Structure 1
Amino acid sequence: MNMRFYLLLIAFISVFSPMRAQKKFIVHTVAFYNFENLFDTINDPLINDDEWTPIGAQRWTGRRYLNKLDNLARVLSEIGTGDNPEPPAIIGGAEIENRQVLEDLVKNPKLVNLDYGIVHFDSPDKRGIDVALLYRKKFFKPISFKKIPLLIYKDVTDATTEKEKEKDKEKDKEEITDDKSSIDLSTSRVFTRDQLLVTGILDGEEVSFIVNHWPSRSGGEKKSSPFREAAGALNRRIIDSLFQRNPNAKVMTMGDLNDGTYNRSVRVALGAKVKKEQVHQGDVYNPFDEMFNNGMGTIAHRDAWDIFDQIIFSEAFLGKDYSSFKFWKAGIYNKPYLIQTTGAYKGYPLRHSNTEEGFSDHFAVYIYLVKELKK
C-alpha cells in the first residue's frame, strides 16, 4: 500500500466508522506562510529595499540570503507532514520581493525535487513585497490567474484632533511591523498588495485560490481597520463572482489578514462563518476561530497571541461525501525549532534579526483536503 494512503487511513480510524476506515483516501495539504522580508541582495531603485543590501541596515549579504532561503525551504517541506507525508500541494506566500527570490527558493535542495511551479505578479506596494502561489506541478494545473488591485484611499478630511489621535495610539493594539502604508500625496491612494486569484485543477477538481496580504495595522488597529475591511469586501466580491459562474464552486482564500478571526474585516466584510452549522451555499467557513478561542496563535504581540494567518473556504469543502475533496482539519505549524528560546521574546516566533536569519515573525497555517480513492 502506498505510504501516503496508509498513514491517512490510520489517522482516519479514530474519525470515521469502522467500515469507512477501511477505505483509502487521497490527502493534500494546503498551506500559507508569511515569508517575512524575503528580499534578494540587489538594490532595486523602484522600491524601498535599501536596507536589504550588503551595505544596508540589515547587512543583507549573499550568505545571509541563502541561509534565509534554506530556513524557509525547511519549513515549506515539513508543513503538515505529521498526518500527511507529502509536503504541501499548494502554498500561498507573502512578503516576497520578486519572482527571482521564488525561483531561488524552489531550487533549494529541500524543495527542488518537489517541482513547485510559481504564480506571481509584482504589486504596487512601495516596499515591493508581493503575494504568490506555489504549486506542485504533479498535483495542480493552473487554468487562469490574475491580480486584482485593492483600491483604498486615505481620508484627507480626517478631523481627528491631535489629542484624540494620541488617545487612539494608547488604545489601539498596533502591530510591531516594518509594513508601513505608502500614500500617493496627489491622489491619496494607499498602496498595498494586490489580491492574487488562481484557478486550476487539483487532482481532477477545479479549485480557486485567493492569496492575500491585507493592509497593516500601521497607525493603530482602529484607524487602519477600514483598509482591511475594504480588503475583506474585495475578497467577498471575488468569491461572489466565482459563485455566479458556479454556485458550488470550490474556493479557498488564504493569507496574512493583519486581523483576527473576530475582526470586522473577516466576520462582516468577508462574511466568514465560524460554526459549520451556520454555513450554507454561498457562505465561507473559517476553521481558525476555534484555535484562537483555545489560546493558539500565529503571531504574538505584547505577550498576547492572535491568528492573523488564516485559510477560509467555501461550503463545497464541507460535508461527508468524500467522492470529491472535503476539509478534514486545520493546523498551525509551530514546531519548537521555529520558536525563540531566549531573551525578551522567548516563546515568540523566531524571526529575522541582525545576528540571525531566523524564519518568520509568523507561524504557517495549513489545512488537509481529503478524497476517497476510487477503486
Structure 2
Amino acid sequence: METVYYIAWWNLENLLDVEDAPRPEWRTRKIGRYLQGWNEQVLDRKISNLASVLAEMNNGTGPDIAGVCEVENERLLSLLTEKLAPTGRTYAYVHHASFDKRGIDIAFLYDKDLFNVPQDLIFTVRLHKRSATRDLLQAEFHTRRGNSLIIIANHWPSRTGGQYESEPFRIMAAETLSYWLYQIAEKRGNDQPVLVMGDFNDEPFNRSITDYALSTANIRQIRNAKKDHNGIFTPYLLNLLWNEMADGKGTLLYQGKWSLLDQIMVNRAIVLNKGFTVLSAGVYDHPDLISNRHAPMAFGAPGKTTKDKNGNPKEILGRYWPKGYSDHLPVVVLLKEN
C-alpha cells in the first residue's frame, strides 16, 4: 500500500497571545494598537477557526505535517494542537523563538505517530537587516520506514517600505536558503530529499526566488544540473506552484489582485523521485476561506476596528471578522514515499 503524506503551509495572520501576556516591552510597543481587545475569548475564537480549517484538510483527517508562520509563542502552538484533538491524531510541534520585532515565529505541526523529529537535527538562522528579522527553520522528519525528509520553512522579510526598496532583504534570505541547500548536499549527499515551503513575500517570478533561491518551473534544467568541483549539483528548486499562478490563483489579495506569495518547492532529489515523489500541489482555496468579495476571510483584530455604541468592537470584514481565519490561503502538497 502506498504511503502518501499531506503537507501544508499556512500564514496564520498575526496569531498573537492575549493583550496582557508577558512579552518584552519593545515587542508590545511594536505590535501596538493591534493588541487592544485581544483577550482569551478572542484568542480562543481565532484558534478554533484556524483549527477547523486544518482539521478539514486531507479529507477531514488533518495534515500529516503543517508549516505555519506568524505565531507569537509556544503556548499558542500548544493551544492549536489541543484544538486538533478531534482529528484523532497526536500532534507535536517544532518551534523556535525568533527575534522578529513583532515576535511572529515559524513552526511545524506534525503527527508524531508518523514521524520522528530528532531535536539535534533542528536548525535555525537569524537573518539581519540592520536588526534581527525572521528566521529560517529547518527540521528533519524520519518516517516509519526510515526515510528522511528535510523541510525548510521560510518567512521572508515583508515588502514594507516598497517592493523594490525591501527586495535586498529577501535576496539575503534567498542566498541563505541556497547556501543551506548546498550544505545539506555536502553533508548528506545529492540524494537527500528536501522540501522548501513558506511565505516568501515575493512571487515565483521575482528575482529573489529565481536568481538567488534558484527556483524554476523547468524540470529539464534541474535534471541536467551540473556538478561543481565538490561533486555537488547546483541546488536548483522546482517550484510546485507555477501552474497555480498561471491559472490566476494566489494566496494573498492585494489591491484587488492575487499574489502567490506562499509557495512549496522541492530539490533535485525529489524531482528524480529519490525517496519521495510529488503527486500534486496547489492552493487550498476552499470556498469557506474566501469572502463574497473574493478575498481571503481575514480574522483581523479588535484593535483594528471601531467600536459600537456599547463599546464593543464592530465586526467588519477586513478589519475584525470573528468568523474569519487568515489573510492568506494555505498551500498543500501530496508526497508519495518511495
TM-score, with normalisation over the residues of structure 1? 0.76
Cα pair 1:32 1:93 within 8 Å, conserved:
yes
Matches within 5 A, 1:74-85: 74-81=52-59
Amino acid at match of 1:351: A
Amino acid at match of 1:40: D
| Structure 2: runs of 5 or more not aligned | 224-232, 303-314, 316-320
Tell me the distance in 2 between the aligned counterparts of 1:79 and 1:241: 33
Alignment of 1:349 with 2:296, yes or no, is yes
Cα distance, 1:270–1:237 mapped onto 2, change above 3 Å? same
Deviation at 1:278, TM superposition (A): 2.0
Cα distance, 1:67–1:52 mapped onto 2, change above 3 Å? farther
Match of 2:333 in 1: 367
Tell me the distance in 2 between the aligned counterparts of 1:112 and 1:336: 21
Alignment of 1:59 with 2:2, yes or no, is no
Match of 1:199 in 2: 140
2:122 aligned counterpart, secondary structure: strand
Amino acid at match of 1:286: N
RCO higher in structure (CA 8 A, sep ≥6) = 2
Identical aligned residues as a percent: 31
Cα pair 2:240 2:282 within 8 Å, conserved:
no
Cα distance, 1:333–1:141 mapped onto 2, change above 3 Å? same
Matches within 5 A, 1:1-375: 24-41=1-18, 42-46=20-24, 47-49=26-28, 58-81=36-59, 86-110=61-85, 113-143=88-118, 144-152=121-129, 189-203=130-144, 204-245=146-187, 246-280=189-223, 281=233, 282-319=235-272, 324-341=275-292, 346-353=293-300, 354=302, 355=315, 356-357=321-322, 358-371=324-337
2:38 aligned counterpart, secondary structure: coil
Amino acid at match of 1:333: Y
Tell me the distance in 2 between the aligned counterparts of 1:110 and 1:77: 9
- Higher alpha-carbon deviation: 273-282 or 246-255: 273-282
Tell me the distance in 2 between the aligned counterparts of 1:210 and 1:126: 22
Cα distance, 1:56–1:227 mapped onto 2, change above 3 Å? closer
Cα pair 1:49 1:128 within 8 Å, conserved:
no
Deviation at 1:319, TM superposition (A): 4.1
Deviation at 1:51, TM superposition (A): 9.0
Cα distance, 1:68–1:294 mapped onto 2, change above 3 Å? same
Cα pair 1:51 1:59 within 8 Å, conserved:
no
Give the number of the structure whose alpha-carbon radius of gyration is greater. 1
Deviation at 1:359, TM superposition (A): 0.5
Cα pair 1:317 1:327 within 8 Å, conserved:
yes
What's the CA shift string for 1:317-339, capped at 9, x where partnerless? 12467xx3211110211111111
Amino acid at match of 1:216: S
Cα distance, 1:303–1:132 mapped onto 2, change above 3 Å? same
Tell me the distance in 2 between the aligned counterparts of 1:266 and 1:51: 29
1:127 aligned counterpart, secondary structure: coil
Amino acid at match of 1:192: T
Deviation at 1:229, TM superposition (A): 0.7
Deviation at 1:52, TM superposition (A): 7.5
Deviation at 1:216, TM superposition (A): 0.2
* Aligned length in residues: 303
Deviation at 1:109, TM superposition (A): 4.9
Cα distance, 1:219–1:110 mapped onto 2, change above 3 Å? same
Deviation at 1:78, TM superposition (A): 2.1
2:88 aligned counterpart, secondary structure: helix
Cα pair 1:80 1:333 within 8 Å, conserved:
no
TM-score, with normalisation over the residues of structure 2? 0.84
1:253 aligned counterpart, secondary structure: strand
